Amino acid sequence: MDKPKIIVICGPTASGKTKLGIEVAKKIDGEIISCDSMQIYKEMDIGTAKPTKEEQEQVVHHLIDFVDPNYRYSVADFKQNATEIIKDILKRGKTPILVGGTGLYINSLIYNIEFKEEKTDLEYREKMEKYNNEELYIKAKKVDEEATSKISINDRKRLIRILEIYHTTGKTKTQLEKESRKKLEYDYRVFVLNMDREELYKRINFRVDYMIEQGLIDEVKRINSKYNSFPTAMQGLGYKEVAEYLNNEISKEDMIEKIKQETRRYAKRQLTWFRKYKQAVWLDANNNDNDEIIIEKFKS
Protein backbone atom coordinates (compact mmCIF):
# COMPACT_ATOMS: atom_id res chain seq x y z
CA MET A 1 0.00 0.00 0.00
CA ASP A 2 1.33 3.46 -0.92
CA LYS A 3 2.11 5.78 1.96
CA PRO A 4 0.12 9.04 2.16
CA LYS A 5 2.04 11.88 0.51
CA ILE A 6 2.88 15.09 2.33
CA ILE A 7 4.36 18.25 0.83
CA VAL A 8 7.21 20.04 2.60
CA ILE A 9 8.10 23.59 1.52
CA CYS A 10 11.20 24.90 3.25
CA GLY A 11 14.02 27.34 2.61
CA PRO A 12 15.81 30.30 4.16
CA THR A 13 14.02 33.20 5.79
CA ALA A 14 12.53 35.76 3.35
CA SER A 15 12.55 33.33 0.42
CA GLY A 16 8.77 33.33 -0.12
CA LYS A 17 7.68 30.10 1.61
CA THR A 18 4.43 31.51 3.00
CA LYS A 19 3.13 32.76 -0.33
CA LEU A 20 4.08 29.58 -2.19
CA GLY A 21 2.52 27.36 0.47
CA ILE A 22 -0.77 29.22 0.17
CA GLU A 23 -0.73 28.99 -3.64
CA VAL A 24 -0.19 25.23 -3.53
CA ALA A 25 -2.77 24.67 -0.79
CA LYS A 26 -5.47 26.52 -2.70
CA LYS A 27 -4.94 24.38 -5.81
CA ILE A 28 -4.92 20.95 -4.15
CA ASP A 29 -7.31 21.49 -1.24
CA GLY A 30 -4.49 21.46 1.27
CA GLU A 31 -4.00 22.74 4.80
CA ILE A 32 -0.78 24.31 6.04
CA ILE A 33 1.12 23.18 9.11
CA SER A 34 3.65 25.81 10.13
CA CYS A 35 7.17 24.55 10.83
CA ASP A 36 8.41 27.78 12.38
CA SER A 37 9.60 27.82 15.98
CA MET A 38 8.73 31.51 16.44
CA GLN A 39 5.37 31.81 14.68
CA ILE A 40 3.88 29.51 17.31
CA TYR A 41 3.87 32.40 19.80
CA LYS A 42 0.92 34.68 20.43
CA GLU A 43 1.44 38.45 20.19
CA MET A 44 4.71 38.00 18.31
CA ASP A 45 3.51 38.92 14.85
CA ILE A 46 5.89 41.47 13.36
CA GLY A 47 9.25 39.98 14.29
CA THR A 48 8.23 36.47 13.23
CA ALA A 49 6.86 37.54 9.81
CA LYS A 50 3.71 35.62 10.72
CA PRO A 51 1.19 35.09 7.89
CA THR A 52 -1.28 37.98 7.88
CA LYS A 53 -4.95 37.52 8.78
CA GLU A 54 -5.78 37.83 5.09
CA GLU A 55 -3.31 35.08 4.22
CA GLN A 56 -4.59 32.82 6.98
CA GLU A 57 -8.15 33.31 5.73
CA GLN A 58 -7.22 31.96 2.29
CA VAL A 59 -6.32 28.49 3.56
CA VAL A 60 -6.37 26.75 6.94
CA HIS A 61 -3.16 27.26 8.95
CA HIS A 62 -2.14 25.12 11.93
CA LEU A 63 0.40 25.66 14.73
CA ILE A 64 0.47 29.44 14.42
CA ASP A 65 -0.27 31.92 17.19
CA PHE A 66 -1.25 29.46 19.92
CA VAL A 67 1.52 29.47 22.58
CA ASP A 68 2.08 32.15 25.25
CA PRO A 69 5.51 33.81 24.86
CA ASN A 70 6.65 32.71 28.31
CA TYR A 71 5.95 29.02 27.66
CA ARG A 72 8.83 26.68 26.85
CA TYR A 73 7.61 24.88 23.72
CA SER A 74 9.92 22.08 22.60
CA VAL A 75 10.51 20.24 19.34
CA ALA A 76 8.96 17.20 21.06
CA ASP A 77 5.79 19.23 21.65
CA PHE A 78 5.80 20.23 17.99
CA LYS A 79 6.27 16.64 16.81
CA GLN A 80 3.32 15.47 18.89
CA ASN A 81 1.03 18.33 17.82
CA ALA A 82 1.98 18.17 14.15
CA THR A 83 1.56 14.37 13.99
CA GLU A 84 -1.97 14.61 15.38
CA ILE A 85 -2.85 17.38 12.89
CA ILE A 86 -1.41 15.44 9.93
CA LYS A 87 -3.59 12.44 10.79
CA ASP A 88 -6.67 14.64 11.09
CA ILE A 89 -6.04 16.40 7.76
CA LEU A 90 -5.54 13.08 5.96
CA LYS A 91 -8.63 11.63 7.61
CA ARG A 92 -10.66 14.48 6.14
CA GLY A 93 -9.30 13.76 2.67
CA LYS A 94 -7.12 16.84 2.42
CA THR A 95 -3.37 17.28 1.86
CA PRO A 96 -1.01 18.34 4.68
CA ILE A 97 1.55 20.94 3.56
CA LEU A 98 4.44 21.62 5.92
CA VAL A 99 5.77 25.16 5.48
CA GLY A 100 8.65 26.72 7.40
CA GLY A 101 12.32 27.15 7.98
CA THR A 102 12.99 25.53 11.36
CA GLY A 103 15.12 22.54 10.46
CA LEU A 104 14.65 20.78 13.79
CA TYR A 105 10.88 20.86 13.36
CA ILE A 106 11.06 19.54 9.81
CA ASN A 107 13.54 16.82 10.75
CA SER A 108 11.29 15.60 13.56
CA LEU A 109 8.63 14.76 10.98
CA ILE A 110 10.46 13.70 7.81
CA TYR A 111 12.75 11.40 9.82
CA ASN A 112 10.00 10.49 12.31
CA ILE A 113 12.22 11.18 15.30
CA GLU A 114 10.89 9.77 18.54
CA PHE A 115 11.66 12.03 21.48
CA LYS A 116 12.19 10.31 24.79
CA GLU A 117 11.34 12.35 27.83
CA GLU A 118 14.54 13.95 29.04
CA LYS A 119 15.03 15.32 32.52
CA THR A 120 15.59 19.00 33.10
CA ASP A 121 18.44 19.67 35.51
CA LEU A 122 17.73 23.19 36.77
CA GLU A 123 20.81 23.27 38.98
CA TYR A 124 23.07 22.33 36.06
CA ARG A 125 21.33 24.80 33.76
CA GLU A 126 21.81 27.59 36.29
CA LYS A 127 25.50 26.72 36.47
CA MET A 128 25.80 26.91 32.65
CA GLU A 129 24.11 30.32 32.59
CA LYS A 130 27.22 31.78 34.23
CA TYR A 131 29.30 31.15 31.10
CA ASN A 132 29.40 33.57 28.19
CA ASN A 133 28.36 32.56 24.67
CA GLU A 134 31.86 31.73 23.46
CA GLU A 135 32.58 29.54 26.49
CA LEU A 136 29.29 27.69 26.04
CA TYR A 137 29.99 27.16 22.35
CA ILE A 138 33.43 25.68 23.06
CA LYS A 139 31.99 23.36 25.72
CA ALA A 140 29.12 22.25 23.48
CA LYS A 141 31.45 21.66 20.54
CA LYS A 142 33.61 19.34 22.64
CA VAL A 143 30.54 17.36 23.65
CA ASP A 144 28.61 17.29 20.34
CA GLU A 145 30.35 18.95 17.39
CA GLU A 146 27.65 17.96 14.88
CA ALA A 147 24.77 19.50 16.83
CA THR A 148 26.80 22.60 17.74
CA SER A 149 27.75 23.27 14.10
CA LYS A 150 24.07 23.72 13.23
CA ILE A 151 23.41 26.62 15.60
CA SER A 152 24.71 30.12 16.23
CA ILE A 153 27.27 30.94 18.90
CA ASN A 154 24.62 33.36 20.25
CA ASP A 155 21.94 30.68 20.66
CA ARG A 156 22.45 30.21 24.40
CA LYS A 157 19.25 28.21 24.88
CA ARG A 158 20.23 25.46 22.43
CA LEU A 159 23.90 25.43 23.48
CA ILE A 160 22.89 24.84 27.09
CA ARG A 161 20.42 22.18 25.97
CA ILE A 162 23.19 20.29 24.12
CA LEU A 163 25.26 20.29 27.30
CA GLU A 164 22.32 19.43 29.53
CA ILE A 165 21.31 16.42 27.43
CA TYR A 166 24.84 15.02 27.62
CA HIS A 167 25.01 15.74 31.35
CA THR A 168 21.72 14.00 32.16
CA THR A 169 21.83 11.07 29.70
CA GLY A 170 25.52 10.44 29.02
CA LYS A 171 24.69 10.54 25.30
CA THR A 172 24.94 13.39 22.80
CA LYS A 173 21.89 15.06 21.30
CA THR A 174 23.00 13.84 17.85
CA GLN A 175 23.34 10.26 19.11
CA LEU A 176 19.89 10.28 20.73
CA GLU A 177 18.27 11.62 17.56
CA LYS A 178 19.89 8.93 15.42
CA GLU A 179 18.76 6.23 17.83
CA SER A 180 15.21 7.53 17.85
CA ARG A 181 14.56 7.64 14.08
CA LYS A 182 11.78 5.21 13.31
CA LYS A 183 10.18 3.82 10.19
CA LEU A 184 8.48 6.53 8.17
CA GLU A 185 4.69 6.55 8.03
CA TYR A 186 4.43 9.03 5.17
CA ASP A 187 5.97 9.85 1.81
CA TYR A 188 7.41 13.33 2.35
CA ARG A 189 7.97 15.31 -0.86
CA VAL A 190 10.50 17.98 0.14
CA PHE A 191 10.98 21.23 -1.81
CA VAL A 192 13.60 23.84 -0.95
CA LEU A 193 13.39 27.45 -2.13
CA ASN A 194 16.68 29.05 -3.09
CA MET A 195 17.89 32.25 -4.73
CA ASP A 196 21.02 34.23 -5.44
CA ARG A 197 22.76 34.95 -2.13
CA GLU A 198 23.05 38.70 -2.80
CA GLU A 199 19.36 38.97 -3.65
CA LEU A 200 18.39 36.98 -0.56
CA TYR A 201 20.43 39.28 1.65
CA LYS A 202 18.78 42.34 0.10
CA ARG A 203 15.37 40.85 0.84
CA ILE A 204 16.40 40.14 4.42
CA ASN A 205 17.65 43.71 4.90
CA PHE A 206 14.42 45.09 3.45
CA ARG A 207 12.33 42.83 5.68
CA VAL A 208 14.15 44.01 8.82
CA ASP A 209 13.65 47.66 7.89
CA TYR A 210 9.96 46.93 7.26
CA MET A 211 9.58 45.20 10.64
CA ILE A 212 11.00 48.26 12.39
CA GLU A 213 8.61 50.52 10.46
CA GLN A 214 5.68 48.27 11.37
CA GLY A 215 6.41 48.59 15.11
CA LEU A 216 8.70 45.77 16.18
CA ILE A 217 10.10 47.85 19.05
CA ASP A 218 6.62 48.50 20.47
CA GLU A 219 5.77 44.81 20.05
CA VAL A 220 8.74 43.86 22.24
CA LYS A 221 7.80 46.52 24.81
CA ARG A 222 4.24 45.13 25.06
CA ILE A 223 5.40 41.55 25.55
CA ASN A 224 8.01 42.47 28.16
CA SER A 225 5.56 44.59 30.13
CA LYS A 226 2.83 41.95 30.02
CA TYR A 227 4.92 39.00 31.14
CA ASN A 228 7.23 40.89 33.53
CA SER A 229 10.10 38.62 32.61
CA PHE A 230 12.40 37.78 29.77
CA PRO A 231 10.46 34.86 28.29
CA THR A 232 12.09 32.05 26.32
CA ALA A 233 10.49 33.27 23.10
CA MET A 234 12.21 36.64 23.46
CA GLN A 235 15.53 34.94 22.79
CA GLY A 236 14.38 34.68 19.18
CA LEU A 237 16.10 36.45 16.32
CA GLY A 238 15.16 40.14 16.24
CA TYR A 239 13.56 40.14 19.67
CA LYS A 240 16.73 39.75 21.70
CA GLU A 241 18.41 42.57 19.75
CA VAL A 242 15.47 44.91 20.38
CA ALA A 243 15.62 43.97 24.07
CA GLU A 244 19.31 44.95 24.11
CA TYR A 245 18.37 48.31 22.62
CA LEU A 246 15.59 48.86 25.16
CA ASN A 247 18.09 48.04 27.93
CA ASN A 248 20.41 50.74 26.54
CA GLU A 249 23.05 48.14 25.69
CA ILE A 250 23.25 49.12 22.00
CA SER A 251 22.09 52.03 19.84
CA LYS A 252 19.07 51.83 17.55
CA GLU A 253 21.31 51.87 14.47
CA ASP A 254 23.47 49.06 15.87
CA MET A 255 20.34 47.12 16.80
CA ILE A 256 19.01 47.25 13.23
CA GLU A 257 22.36 46.29 11.73
CA LYS A 258 22.76 43.44 14.24
CA ILE A 259 19.33 42.02 13.37
CA LYS A 260 20.20 42.13 9.67
CA GLN A 261 23.57 40.51 10.22
CA GLU A 262 22.23 37.73 12.46
CA THR A 263 19.34 37.07 10.06
CA ARG A 264 21.73 36.75 7.12
CA ARG A 265 23.83 34.31 9.14
CA TYR A 266 20.71 32.37 10.07
CA ALA A 267 19.67 32.12 6.40
CA LYS A 268 23.10 30.75 5.54
CA ARG A 269 22.79 28.08 8.26
CA GLN A 270 19.33 27.18 7.01
CA LEU A 271 20.62 26.56 3.50
CA THR A 272 23.45 24.42 4.87
CA TRP A 273 20.91 22.42 6.85
CA PHE A 274 18.55 21.84 3.91
CA ARG A 275 21.38 20.69 1.64
CA LYS A 276 21.48 17.52 3.74
CA TYR A 277 18.02 16.56 2.43
CA LYS A 278 19.10 14.22 -0.34
CA GLN A 279 15.50 13.69 -1.45
CA ALA A 280 14.78 17.43 -1.78
CA VAL A 281 13.88 19.19 -5.02
CA TRP A 282 15.50 22.62 -5.15
CA LEU A 283 13.46 25.44 -6.66
CA ASP A 284 14.40 28.90 -7.89
CA ALA A 285 12.43 31.17 -5.56
CA ASN A 286 11.87 33.64 -8.42
CA ASN A 287 10.16 31.07 -10.64
CA ASN A 288 6.45 31.90 -10.90
CA ASP A 289 5.62 28.29 -11.77
CA ASN A 290 6.89 26.71 -8.54
CA ASP A 291 3.37 25.86 -7.42
CA GLU A 292 2.78 23.88 -10.62
CA ILE A 293 6.16 22.13 -10.30
CA ILE A 294 5.36 21.08 -6.74
CA ILE A 295 1.89 19.84 -7.65
CA GLU A 296 3.18 17.88 -10.64
CA LYS A 297 5.90 16.15 -8.61
CA PHE A 298 3.49 15.58 -5.74
CA LYS A 299 1.05 13.76 -8.02
CA SER A 300 3.70 11.68 -9.76
Splitting the chain (300 residues) into consecutive groups of 10 residues, what average pLDDT does each group show?
Answer: 92 96 97 97 94 95 94 91 98 97 95 74 86 93 92 88 90 82 86 96 97 96 80 82 94 97 96 94 97 95
Backbone torsion region of residue 215, taken as left when φ is above 0, otherwise alpha when ψ lies between -120 and 50, otherwise beta: left
**Domain chopping of the chain, boundaries:** 5-114+181-299, 122-179
Report CA-CA distances (Å) from 100 to 175, 180, 182, 268, 270.
Answer: 25, 23, 23, 15, 11
pLDDT of residue 122: 79
Q: Within the chain, what is the greatest distance between any pair of CA atoms?
A: 61
Q: Which of the listed CATH numbers 3.10.620.30, 1.20.1050.10, 3.40.50.300, 2.70.210.12 matches domain 5-114+181-299?
A: 3.40.50.300
How many other β-carbons are positioned within 10 Å of the β-carbon of residue 83? 16
Instruction: For residue 33, report the phi and psi dihedrals to the nearest 5 degrees.
Output: -110, 115
Helices 216-227 and 239-246 pack at an angle, to 10 degrees, of 80
pLDDT of residue 246: 94
Partners of 99 in the β-ladder: 9, 34
Long-range contacts of 220-224 (CB under 8 A, 24+ apart): 220/47, 220/246, 221/246, 222/43, 223/43, 223/44, 223/69
pLDDT of residue 125: 85
pLDDT of residue 118: 60
Q: Is the distance from CB of 217 to CB of 152 less than 8 angstroms? A: no
Fold of 122-179: Histone, subunit A (1.10.20)
The pTM for the full model equals 0.82
pLDDT of residue 119: 63
pLDDT of residue 231: 63
